[in-house]
Structure formats: C-alpha cells, structure tokens
C-alpha cells in the first residue's frame, strides 16, 4: 500500500503486488540445490568474508536445499533502505537467515552453522522483524548439526539459531531437528521470541509440527536490544522462550535436553494479568493466538531462568501459553511448569474440552536444579572453536551433557502405558444445556461485566425487518441461568 496526502488527510491506496526483497545473498539459486560433501574427510566451508556493511547472507535458495557435511559461517543479513520507482512499498530489505534462507525445504545433515547474524529495523511492525540467525526456511529437516554462536537484532527478533516458517507453499507438515545442538545463540529485540529455535507452525487448516529429538538446546539468550529507554521496554516489550518458542501448530520434544537458557527483560503484566516474560520453552499467548499441542517425553527441561532487568531472577522452564493440549510422554525431568494461561474451551462433545493438562505420566519427576540430573563438569562436551554469544558469552558452546542421578537409565526398554483423564459434560436426558450461560455469568461476576452488559442492552435497537422476533442480548451478556441440569 502507498500513502498520499489529501485535503482530508493521509489516504492509503494500492500500489500493486511485489516480491518481498529479502536483501543481499552471496549465492542465489532459483531451483533445487544439492551440495553434498560427504566424500570429503573434513567437508567444505562456505563463508561470507565481506564484512557487516552492507553484508550478505551466504546462500539463498528459492527451492529445496540439501546440504551435507558443510559449514556455513560469517553470513550477515542486514536491513537496507530501498525504493521501487520512487515509491516505498517496502521501506527496508527483510533480514532473514544469516547463513541460509530457503523458500521451501532445507535438508541439513552433519552441518555446522556458527557465527552468522541478522539485523533488522526498529519500526513498529514486529512482523517485519529479523528472523533466523543461521537458518530461515519454510520446512527444516536437520540431522547431526551444530547451530551455535549466531545473533539476531531487531525491533522484532526471533529464531536466534533456527526459524521455521511452516510455509503454506509446502505440502510437508513436519519440521525436525534431530541429533543436533542449538547452543549459545542470542536474540535481542523489543518483541523477542525463541533464541534457540522458533516455529511459526502454519495457520488454520495448515498446521505444522516442529519435532526436536535427541538434541541439546542450551545457553541461548533472549534479551532487550541495547539503546532503547526503559520506559519503551516496560510499556511494550515481550521476551519469551530462551530455548524454544512455538507460535502456532504443534511441538514435540523427545529425548532432548533443554537447559541453561535465559530470558531477560523488564517485567510487566497486561490487563488480563499475563506476564511478558517466559523462560526456557514457551508457547504463544494472546487474544488472537492458540497453539494446538505440545508433547514432551524422555526429556530434561531444567535450569532455565528469567532475569528481570534490575529485578528478580527465577527458574522458569516451560510456559504452556495458550496451548489447547499439553501432553507428557513420561520419564521427564522438569523443573518449573507454568500452566497459568492454558485454554479450556467448552461446549462440544468429544473435544475433551474440560481436560487439557495430561501431566504427570509414568516416570515424570520434578527437579530443583539441572545439576541434579546433568554432569556439568567433565560430562559436558563443548566445541572450543565456536564461542557462545548467549549465556556464558565468550565460552565454548555446549554440544551435549551427560545425564546423572535420577535421569540416568530411567526409560524402560519395554513399552509402557500412558493414561489420560478426559473431562467432558453431557446434558442429562430431558435437561437443558445452559452450561455456556453459567460460564458467561461467572465471567461477568468475576470481571464486573454485568453493569456494562445491561447498559448495552438498554441502548440496543431492534432491526425493523425483525420487529416480531425477540432481540438477543449483546455478545457476552447471556441470561442469568437457573440451576444447571444434572450432568455426567
């Protein structure tokens, strides 16, 4: 859209449709690409060495990319002011994927992606932000990789290591990160989500899943950007998911370790009492957001913290956000679980609508500290040649931790059962379904909405074409219910 000035004020008008300009790339391919260095003992390295200004990502592919036994490093995807025929349909290039940006499926096997960065603008639109310090792709299939020491900076910042778009253009529904380490990455922004990995997960009718299996997500940092005044940060900022963040769709965490990630920011709550800070793993929360399901099995999620700027420091491992279902697969070691914002939709039979938290399951246990279940000394493997820019900045990034104590040899070799309690309601024979009215009345009572509803009802007018029909109450202003019918 363009803006022109009229006597009445600014008026928007349609300029037309343009391809998004995602900035400079050292290598560009508008077709499927395969780079297979599996026959080379030390693989290959593709690096950007041209500096930060204006910078360039290493590789952009408008198609599928397969990358085997390769290192991609030094990439710089930065926003740059642009214009098209004197107009500005897109003021800046979009900062996407410091190492690689793939507009279909990125298959990465035995790859290293260290030391890349993305820098975006600081205008008000968080959706125009800086995404994917190392990897930005519609679908990601990663196996045996290290994504470490990457950095994202912008007004909106997400996916310090990996940003999974969940693109509508792909028929695939699953992205996966397996046998990999996502460590020592950082994002800094006014709206900042997922310093390790971010999953957009698709949308309605196009739901995608991010599966993290047999992997380590550690020492990633979500933080405010430098230079913005505390008044702006306190009024607007959101910082969530030092390790992993899911915005839509589904997430599965299987046999993985998510520890020592950190979220920093200025603490506040909104009008509904929702906090703007969340620690190690976080799902989205908001009036317009709901995420379908998170499954956690055979995993360690502990020692992740929130650090309030100038304030408290506390453990906050997993924030369920607006999840519809949280499911445990059992045999987890989890520190702090926050279910405070989970949704509980009601009113449809067979939706299990009154039961959403399927935890704990067999073998699940809470831990006070990740030191109880991980060897933080000699059992911690590192990559000395790749330094963290996140937690413990300047130290070698972590590859993996050895389990100890109650986390060692706990998963049974044989199959075991999981049981879930489903809560539903059913109107008894001859009864009246007034359950929704009861819920609405309770909301009106708790939030003091009754007087406002009556005021709206008094001023509402009846359409002339429906004079003989009863006027319904305004939305959310149901009748005061009678005693509920018996239900099971």
For the stretch 134-149, pLDDT in tens is: 999 999 999 999 999 9
pLDDT average, residue stretch 309-317: 95
Q: Which residue has the higher pLDDT, 2 or 369?
A: 369
Instruction: Output the average pLDDT for the chain.
Output: 87
Q: What is the pLDDT of residue 18?
A: 75
Do 308 and 208 lie in one domain? The reply is yes
Higher pLDDT, 109 or 378: 109
Domain extent for 457 = 427-488
Average pLDDT value for residue range 118-129: 77
- pLDDT at position 141: 98
The pLDDT assigned to 464 comes to 32
Within a 10 A sphere around the Cβ of 472, how many other Cβ atoms? Answer: 10
**What residues contact residue 33 under an 8 Å CB cut-off, 6+ apart?**
61, 63, 64, 65, 66
Question: 462 and 341: one domain?
Answer: no
pLDDT at 344 exceeding the cut of 80? no
Domain count, the chain: 2
CA–CA distance, 189 with 233 (Å, rounded to integer) = 10
pLDDT of residue 345: 63
What pLDDT, on a 0 to 100 scale, did the predictor assign at position 456? 45
- Quick one: pLDDT band at residue 474, thresholds 50, 70, 90? very low
pLDDT for 337 beyond 70:
yes
Q: Given pLDDT bands bounded at 50, 70 and 90, which one contains residue 326? A: very high
Q: Tell me which of 12-16, 210-214, 332-336 is least confident.
A: 12-16
Tell me: do 132 and 252 sit in the same domain. yes
pLDDT at 37: 98
Could you tell me the pLDDT band of residue 124, with boundaries at 50, 70 and 90? low
The better pLDDT of the pair 352, 9 is held by 9
Q: Please give the helix or strand (H or E) that residue 389 lies within, else none.
A: none
In a domain, 7, yes or no: no
**Shared domain check, 236 and 352:** yes
User: Is 421 a domain residue?
Assistant: no
- Check: CB of residue 48 under 8 Å from CB of residue 76: yes
Work out whether strand 135-143 and strand 100-109 pair parallel, antiparallel, or are unpaired.
Answer: parallel
Q: Considering the domain boundaries, does residue 413 fall inside one?
A: no
Q: How far is CA 225 from CA 28, 219, 284, 367, in A?
A: 31, 18, 21, 32
Say yes or no to pLDDT of 480 above 50: no
Pick the closest to residue 97 from 113, 121, 110 (CA basis): 113
Per-residue pLDDT tens for 258-280?
A: 999 999 999 988 877 888 999 99
Checking if the pLDDT of 40 tops 70, the result is: yes
pLDDT confidence band for 421 (50 / 70 / 90) = confident
Mean pLDDT within 314-332: 95
Residues 96 and 224 in one domain: yes
pLDDT per position as a tens digit, 208-240 = 899 999 999 999 999 999 988 888 888 889 999
**361 and 226 within one domain:** yes
Report how far residue 159's alpha carbon sits from residue 243's, in angstroms, rounded to the nearest whole number.
Answer: 9
Task: Return the HEC string of 113-157.
Answer: EECCEEECCCCCCHHHCEECCCEEEEEEEEECCEEECCEEEEEEE
Query: Binning pLDDT at 50, 70 and 90, where does residue 347 land?
Result: low
What percentage of the chain reaches a pLDDT higher than 90? Answer: 64
Last residue of a domain, one of 407, 440, 472: 407
Q: How confident is the model at residue 462 (pLDDT cuts 50, 70, 90)?
A: very low
| Any domain includes 419 | no
- Contact (CB, 8 A) for 389 and 149: yes
Do 243 and 175 lie in one domain? The reply is yes
> Which of 20-24, 58-62, 429-433 has the highest mean predicted lDDT (pLDDT)?
58-62
| 384 vs 388: CA distance, rounded Å | 10
Burial of 482 (0-12, 13-18, 19+ CB in 10 A): exposed
Distance of CA 155 to the CA centre of its chain: 16
Token reading at 223:
């933080």
Q: In this structure, what token pair is assigned to residue 188? A: 């800094």
Measure CA of the first residue to CA of the last residue in the chain; give whole Å. 55
Give the pLDDT of residue 271: 72
> 407, 438, 472: which is the final residue of a domain?
407
Q: Is residue 415 part of a domain?
A: no
Asked if the structure places residue 5 within a domain, the reply is no
Residue 469's pLDDT is 31
Q: Of 349, 372, 407, which residue constitutes the final position of a domain?
A: 407
128 backbone dihedrals φ, ψ, rounded to 5°:
-100, 20
- Domain shared by 128 and 185, yes or no: yes
Q: Does residue 175 belong to any structural domain of this protein?
A: yes
Do 159 and 62 reside in the same domain of the chain?
Answer: yes
Cβ within 8 Å of residue 170, ≥6 positions away: 104, 105, 138, 139
Q: Please state which of the ranges 160-169, 198-207, 397-406, 472-481 shows the lowest mean pLDDT.
A: 472-481
Residues 371 and 450 in one domain: no
| Residue 132 scores a pLDDT above 60 | yes
b/e code 388-405 from CB counts within 10 Å (16+ = b): bbbbbeeebbbbbbebee
- pLDDT band at residue 478, thresholds of 50, 70 and 90? very low
Q: What is the dihedral of CA 466, 470, 474, 480, to 10 degrees?
A: 180
Residue 465's pLDDT band (boundaries 50, 70, 90)? very low
The predicted structure's pLDDT at residue 419: 93
Question: How does pLDDT run across 353-398, given as a tens digit for each residue?
Answer: 778 899 999 999 999 999 999 999 999 999 999 999 999 999 999 9
Percent of the chain's residues with pLDDT above 70: 86
Domain contains 422: no
| 371 and 264 share one domain | yes
Q: Same structural domain for residues 358 and 435?
A: no
Q: Model confidence at 84, in pLDDT bands (50, 70, 90)?
A: low
């Amino acid at each position: 859209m363009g803006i022109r000035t009229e006597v009445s004020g600014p008026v928007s008008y349609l300029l037309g449709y343009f391809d998004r300009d995602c900035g400079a790339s050292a290598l560009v391919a508008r077709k499927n690409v395969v780079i297979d260095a599996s026959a080379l003992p030390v693989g290959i390295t593709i690096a950007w060495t041209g500096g930060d200004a204006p910078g360039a990502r290493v590789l952009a592919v408008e198609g599928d990319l397969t990358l085997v036994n390769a290192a991609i490093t030094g990439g710089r995807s930065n926003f740059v002011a642009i214009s098209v025929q004197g107009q500005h349909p897109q003021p800046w290039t979009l900062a996407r994927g410091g190492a690689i940006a793939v507009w279909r499926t990125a298959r990465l096997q035995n790859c290293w992606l260290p030391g890349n960065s993305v820098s975006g603008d600081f205008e008000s639109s968080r959706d125009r932000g800086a995404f994917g310090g190392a990897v930005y792709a519609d679908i990601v299939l990663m196996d045996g990789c290290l994504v470490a020491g990457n950095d994202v900076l912008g007004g909106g910042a997400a996916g310090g290591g990996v940003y999974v778009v969940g693109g509508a253009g792909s028929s695939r529904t699953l992205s996966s990160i397996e046998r990999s380490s996502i460590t020592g990455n950082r994002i800094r922004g006014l709206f900042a989500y997922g310093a390790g990995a971010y999953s957009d997960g698709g949308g309605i009718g196009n739901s995608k899943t991010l599966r993290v299996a047999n992997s380590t997500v550690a020492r990633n940092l979500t933080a405010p950007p430098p230079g913005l005044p505390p008044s702006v940060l306190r009024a607007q900022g959101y910082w969530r998911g030092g390790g992993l963040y899911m915005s839509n769709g589904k997430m599965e965490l299987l046999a993985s370790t998510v520890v020592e990630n950190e979220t920093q920011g200025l603490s506040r709550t909104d009008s509904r009492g929702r906090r703007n800070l969340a620690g190690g793993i976080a799902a989205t929360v908001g009036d317009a957001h709901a995420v379908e399901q998170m499954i956690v099995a055979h995993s360690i999620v502990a020692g992740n913290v929130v650090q309030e700027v100038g304030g408290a420091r506390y453990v906050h491992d997993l924030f369920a956000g607006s999840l519809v279902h949280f499911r445990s697969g059992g045999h987890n070691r989890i520190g702090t679980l926050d279910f405070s914002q989970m949704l509980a939709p009601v009113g449809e039979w067979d939706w299990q609508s009154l039961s959403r938290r399927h935890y704990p399951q067999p073998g699940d246990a809470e831990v006070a500290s990740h030191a109880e279940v991980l060897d933080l000394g000699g059992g911690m493997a590192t990559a000395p040649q790749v330094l963290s820019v996140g937690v413990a900045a300047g130290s070698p990034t972590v590859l993996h931790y050895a389990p100890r104590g109650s986390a060692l040899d706990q998963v049974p070799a044989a199959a075991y059962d999981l049981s879930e309690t489903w809560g539903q309601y059913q109107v008894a024979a001859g009864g009246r379904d007034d359950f929704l009215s009861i819920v609405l009345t309770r909301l009106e009572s708790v939030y003091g909405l009754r007087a406002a509803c009556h005021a709206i009802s008094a001023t509402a007018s009846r359409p002339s074409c429906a004079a003989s029909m009863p006027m319904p109450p305004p939305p959310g202003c149901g009748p005061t219910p009678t005693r509920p019918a018996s239900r099971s």
